[in-house]
Amino acid sequence: MQSDHSNKMDGMVAIVTGASRGLGRAIAKEFAAEGAKVVVSARRDSPTGLPGTAVETATQIRDQGGEAMALTCDVSNEEQVVSMVNQTIDRYGQIDVLVNNAGVMVLGDTILDIDPEKWDRSVAANLRGPYLCCRSVLPWMIERGRGSIIHIGSRMGSDHDQGGGVLYSSTKAAVHMFSYCLADEVREHNIAVNILSPGGLKTEGSAAIPWTQRDWDQRVEPEAVGPSAVYLALQDASTFTGQYVLRAEFGETWGV
């Protein structure tokens, strides 16, 4: 692998959901560059028609000398989540890290624009998904006596002025609280649960949202989130858990 990596994640197995593009792909590639075996998970097709597949991400990782397995999984579907976890165990025998990155972003819609189906789809992807993935992965982490779960948070989940709207902001606020409570619940098993807020990113998804153009210059490439995600992946309940952290403050207020 590239010389600028120190194989901090040698011997570790990580699942990254929503890893077909953008932030998920960047985290998966960073984990692999640090020596982890990475399970790259994504839905078969983007509902929004964006480019990228899990297979492409896994191929890029292998082309760079890493180890990856691509799996199709809709995180809101319990059967598919259980299958993803079982296939991971069958292939690698353990799960050390879970990054719940999969989600959908609905912005700019008022409550009257949001029909019940759209509401349910977002809640299913953004909240039911992390719940199902945690519930399926945790028995394996508990058996090992350690693990790290990373949820992708958002300023929109804690600040109503950020423009997230009633749907997206509500799901992110729920994920934050889910993470805090889960961290308390699994602390006795030495499993870390943390929330990483990446800040504004230059991704295919955000490029499709008109208002992101106004602060495009301040946004960072998703690769910038890699090192902070690696740091969180290496934690357990004895070192760092139950925290909401900003990627922009990595190396300053946390991860020092």
Q: Quick check: is 168 catalytic?
A: yes
> What residues pair up with 37 in beta bridges, in sequence order?
13, 67
- Triad 115, 23, 178: Cα angle to 5°: 60
**In b/e form, how buried is each residue of 210-239, taking b as 16+ CB within 10 angstroms?**
eebeeeeeebeebebbbbbbbbbbbbbbee
pLDDT in tens, the chain (256 residues): 444 678 999 999 999 999 999 999 999 999 999 999 999 999 988 767 788 999 999 999 999 999 999 999 999 999 999 999 999 999 999 999 999 999 998 888 999 999 999 999 999 999 999 999 999 999 999 999 999 999 999 999 999 999 999 999 999 999 999 999 999 999 999 999 999 999 988 877 777 666 667 777 888 999 999 999 999 999 999 999 999 999 999 999 999 8
Provide the pLDDT for residue 49. 77
Q: What would the 3-class secondary structure string for 68-113 be?
A: EEEEECCCCCHHHHHHHHHHHHHHHCCCCEEEECCCCCCCCCCCCC
Q: How many CB atoms lie within 10 A of CB 1?
A: 13
Q: How many CB atoms lie within 10 A of CB 7?
A: 11
Instruction: Mention every residue, 6+ apart, whose C-beta is less than 8 A from residue 256.
Output: none
Query: Domain spans of the chain?
Result: 13-249
CA atoms within 13 A of residue 13's CA, in its CB half-sphere: 17
**Residue count of the chain:** 256
CATH topology classification for 13-249: Rossmann fold (3.40.50)
Provide the pLDDT for residue 51. 86
Provide the pLDDT for residue 201. 87
Catalytic site residue from 92, 131, 168, 231: 168
165-186 vs 116-123: helix axis angle to the nearest 10?
Answer: 30
- Is residue 129 within 8 Å of residue 47, measured between CB atoms? no
Provide the pLDDT for residue 1. 42
Structure tokens belonging to residue 147:
């693990």
Placement of tokens 């948070």 in the chain:
153
Provide the pLDDT for residue 209. 67
In three-state secondary structure terms, 66 is coil
Q: For residue 225, which of 244, 204, 246 has the smallest C-alpha distance? A: 246
